[in-house]
């Protein structure tokens, strides 16, 4: 068998089929028509000049084509990443570009060291709580643009207060246009989800009609923004302008240069160390959330389409994309669920579709930025709201109530604190999830069956936090029985132990021996048995099963005759 190529592009490029080319071209164009208006909208959300959204939208497409392992995934700016960038970069492009560089370095290091497993400690309730809160926060953040209000604070609670207080200052033109765009986007999304697929046997006119409707629904962001721009331009020609416009965007491609590691300010220079301190916990939250989004999206679409991905290779691809992106003035990027869905639904066959998307963004930067002047901010706000509303998962609360109510705790903690500060919500949710996880490790279920001897069966592996719990459970039951009974410890569910557990078991043997009782082990797995034999515990005895332990131990364990185990209790 030939070794698997280390570079992912070499796994599909040598067998590239001519039949794949039109599908990749169509998918790349469809994603590109979605990417350009979203890039402008997400830059607005990040608090950066709009051209930075476009600067952030092409490098990930090119890098992922060569280093990505999922054919459907597209990298670029997203609503959640833009929200995080807004929180940690103070609306300053130099900070945003440096954050992309440092995040990429962290992601590269994690990929090279195979540390992707750390993401497994961010539980699903934490993710759902964060994305649902982000959906509400981002949507409300755009209400000011829908209503044409200015000078609204960016913090959520002051933002809600100021928006409601100043709702009387709403600009009628922006409100009508914004709501119209939002209704059009919602209708086109619903049309696409209910569009029946045209069979090859259908008449040509039917298939052409299907294609027109499908393209219109898929490129709905571009169509709505184009319509809004034409309306605004028409008013401009007539000498009036009822909308707040995007304004001038610098034309041309960004220069290829390293990110700046200091920032000139009127009264001096902010050095690199101070910039890192200013970004603070963002240097952990941004790269981790970027990895989490990318790998979750890649796994979801790979599972749906029947192929596998390499998580560590995905980390490397994202890290390289962010590092190289910082050289073209990009802010941090990650996998986009919406654009990945468009890519998959367009029938993309390989990651080569990203080359078409990246090229379309570059063409927009080179030739079309002068046309973006007339795009109303209300239309971009409608694009953002339409993209993030589906992220709110109201059903997760009811699902967790039915499945496991304890998981509602990290969900609600994350959800509520994210309205205060995003980083506090994520960190608090992870900590609460960790505490619940550690509690289950420290208090494993212990099944106790009573008979001639006590049969004690821990329900999971034993680690040092659980030793005292095991000692208390065994001693309290063995010594409280009348008469006191010896113990068989059934270790069939224990796959590993540590040194503290060995010390605790030695103390348990001594404690029972002081009361004239015995402790025998059964069902030991080889790794556990080797550890206990190496420890040379005094009085250590083990049997293949509890039946043999009871039969062979007999009187030594304090049983004058064999009795069935009559009652069972569970200790947690």
Are 23 and 348 a contacting pair, CB within 8 Å? yes
d(CA 64, CA 322) in angstroms, rounded, equals: 11
What is the count of structural domains for the chain?
3
Any domain includes 2: no
With 0-12 / 13-18 / 19 or more C-beta atoms within 10 angstroms meaning exposed / middle / buried, residue 556 is exposed
d(CA 319, CA 332) in angstroms, rounded, equals: 10
CA 33, 34, 37, 40 dihedral sign is negative
Residue 197 pLDDT: 73
pTM of the model: 0.77
Residue 356 pLDDT: 94
Question: SS3 of 242, please?
Answer: coil
pLDDT tens-digit readout, 252-303: 999 999 999 999 888 889 999 999 999 988 999 899 889 888 888 887 677 6
Query: Do 400 and 296 share a domain, yes or no?
Result: no
d(CA 252, CA 24) in angstroms, rounded, equals: 27
Tokens of 42: 């997400």
d(CA 489, CA 475) in angstroms, rounded, equals: 12
- DSSP element (H, E) containing 264: strand 263-265
Are 521 and 542 a contacting pair, CB within 8 Å? yes
Any domain includes 262: no
Query: Do 398 and 538 share a domain, yes or no?
Result: no
Any domain includes 275: no
Any domain includes 169: yes
Query: Do 455 and 483 share a domain, yes or no?
Result: yes
Domain final residue pick, 382, 412, 442: 442
Query: Do 432 and 357 share a domain, yes or no?
Result: no
DSSP labels, 497-563 = --HHHHHHHHHHHHHHHHTT--EEEES--HHHHHHHHHHT-TT--EESSHHHHHHHHGGGGT-SS--
CATH of the domain at 488: 3.30.750.24
d(CA 456, CA 454) in angstroms, rounded, equals: 6
Query: Do 332 and 459 share a domain, yes or no?
Result: no
Query: Do 314 and 381 share a domain, yes or no?
Result: yes
Query: Do 172 and 193 share a domain, yes or no?
Result: yes
Tokens of 528: 């556990």
Any domain includes 258: no
Domain final residue pick, 381, 410, 442: 442
Residue 492 pLDDT: 87
Are 245 and 374 a contacting pair, CB within 8 Å? yes
Q: 515 lies in which domain range?
A: 446-554
| Beta bridge pairs of residue 335 | 75
pLDDT tens-digit readout, 12-66: 999 999 989 988 998 898 888 889 999 998 998 899 999 999 999 999 999 999 9
Query: Do 318 and 374 share a domain, yes or no?
Result: yes
Any domain includes 3: no
CA atoms within 13 A on the CB side of 260: 14
Question: SS3 of 351, please?
Answer: coil
Any domain includes 105: yes
Domain final residue pick, 369, 391, 413: 391
Query: Do 468 and 540 share a domain, yes or no?
Result: yes
pLDDT in tens, the chain (572 residues): 455 667 889 889 999 999 899 889 988 988 888 899 999 989 988 999 999 999 999 999 999 999 998 888 999 999 889 989 998 998 999 999 999 999 999 999 998 988 877 777 878 888 888 888 888 888 888 898 899 888 888 788 888 899 899 998 989 999 999 999 999 999 988 887 777 776 777 788 878 888 888 888 877 888 888 899 999 999 999 988 898 888 888 889 999 999 999 998 888 899 999 999 999 889 998 998 898 888 888 876 776 677 778 888 889 999 999 999 999 999 999 998 888 888 887 788 899 999 999 999 999 999 988 888 888 989 888 888 888 888 888 888 999 999 999 999 999 999 999 888 777 888 888 899 989 988 888 888 888 888 778 888 888 888 889 889 898 988 888 888 778 888 889 888 888 889 999 999 999 999 888 888 888 898 888 888 899 888 888 888 888 876 676 665 544 555 444 455 554 555 55
Query: Do 336 and 286 share a domain, yes or no?
Result: yes
Query: Do 459 and 426 share a domain, yes or no?
Result: no
For 343, residues 6+ apart whose C-beta sits below 8 A from its C-beta are: 27, 30, 31, 72, 73, 74, 353
Any domain includes 550: yes
CA angle 335–341–344, rounded 5-degree value? 110
Query: Do 230 and 332 share a domain, yes or no?
Result: yes
């Amino acid at each position: 068998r030939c070794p698997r190529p280390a570079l992912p592009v070499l796994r599909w490029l040598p067998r590239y089929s001519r039949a794949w080319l039109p599908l990749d071209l169509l998918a790349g164009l469809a994603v590109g028509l979605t990417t350009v208006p979203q890039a402008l909208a997400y830059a607005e959300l990040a608090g950066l000049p709009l051209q930075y959204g476009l600067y952030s939208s092409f490098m990930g497409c090119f890098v992922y084509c060569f280093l990505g392992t999922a054919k459907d995934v597209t990298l670029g700016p997203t609503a959640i990443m833009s929200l995080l960038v807004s929180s940690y970069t103070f609306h300053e492009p130099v900070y945003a570009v440096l954050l992309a560089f440092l995040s990429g370095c962290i992601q590269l290091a994690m990929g090279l060291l195979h540390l992707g497993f750390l993401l497994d400690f961010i539980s699903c309730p934490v993710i759902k709580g964060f994305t649902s809160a982000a959906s509400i926060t981002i949507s409300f953040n755009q209400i000011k643009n829908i209503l044409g209000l200015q000078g609204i604070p960016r913090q959520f609670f002051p933002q809600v207060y100021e928006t409601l207080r100043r709702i009387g200052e709403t600009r009628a033109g922006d409100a009508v246009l914004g709501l119209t765009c939002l209704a059009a986007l919602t209708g086109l999304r619903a049309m696409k989800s209910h569009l029946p697929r045209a069979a090859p046997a259908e008449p040509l006119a039917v298939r052409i009609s299907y294609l027109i409707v499908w393209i219109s629904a898929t490129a709905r962001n571009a169509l709505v923004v184009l319509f809004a721009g034409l309306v605004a331009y028409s008013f401009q020609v007539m000498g009036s302008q009822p909308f707040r416009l995007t304004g001038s965007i610098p034309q041309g491609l960004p220069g290829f240069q390293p990110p700046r590691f200091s920032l000139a300010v009127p009264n001096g220079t902010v050095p690199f160390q101070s910039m890192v301190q200013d970004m603070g916990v963002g240097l952990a939250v941004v790269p981790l959330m970027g990895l989490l989004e990318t790998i979750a999206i890649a796994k979801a679409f790979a599972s749906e389409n029947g192929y596998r991905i390499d998580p560590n290779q995905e980390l490397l691809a994202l890290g390289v994309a962010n590092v190289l992106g910082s050289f073209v003035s990009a802010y941090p990027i990650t996998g986009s669920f919406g654009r990945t869905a468009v890519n998959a639904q367009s029938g993309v066959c390989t990651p080569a579709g990203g080359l078409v998307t990246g090229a379309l963004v570059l063409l927009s930067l080179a030739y079309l930025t002068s046309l973006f002047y007339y795009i109303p901010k209300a239309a971009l706000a409608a694009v953002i709201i339409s993209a993030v509303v589906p992220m709110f998962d109201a059903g997760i609360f009811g699902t967790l109530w039915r499945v496991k109510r304890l998981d509602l705790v990290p969900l609600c903690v994350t959800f509520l604190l994210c309205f205060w500060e995003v980083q506090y919500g994520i960190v608090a949710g992870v900590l609460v999830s960790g505490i619940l996880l550690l509690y289950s490790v420290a208090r494993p279920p212990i099944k106790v069956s009573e008979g001639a001897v006590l049969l004690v069966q821990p329900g999971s592996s034993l680690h040092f936090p659980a030793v005292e719990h095991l000692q208390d459970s065994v001693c309290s039951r063995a010594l409280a029985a009348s008469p006191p009974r010896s113990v068989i410890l059934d270790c069939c569910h224990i796959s590993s132990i540590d040194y503290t557990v060995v010390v605790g078991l030695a103390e348990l043997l001594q404690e029972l021996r002081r009361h004239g009782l015995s402790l025998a082990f059964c069902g030991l797995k080889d790794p556990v048995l080797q550890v206990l034999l190496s420890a040379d515990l005094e009085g250590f005895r083990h049997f293949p099963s509890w039946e043999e332990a009871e039969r062979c131990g007999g009187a030594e364990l304090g049983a004058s005759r064999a009795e069935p185990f009559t009652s069972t209790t569970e200790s947690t």
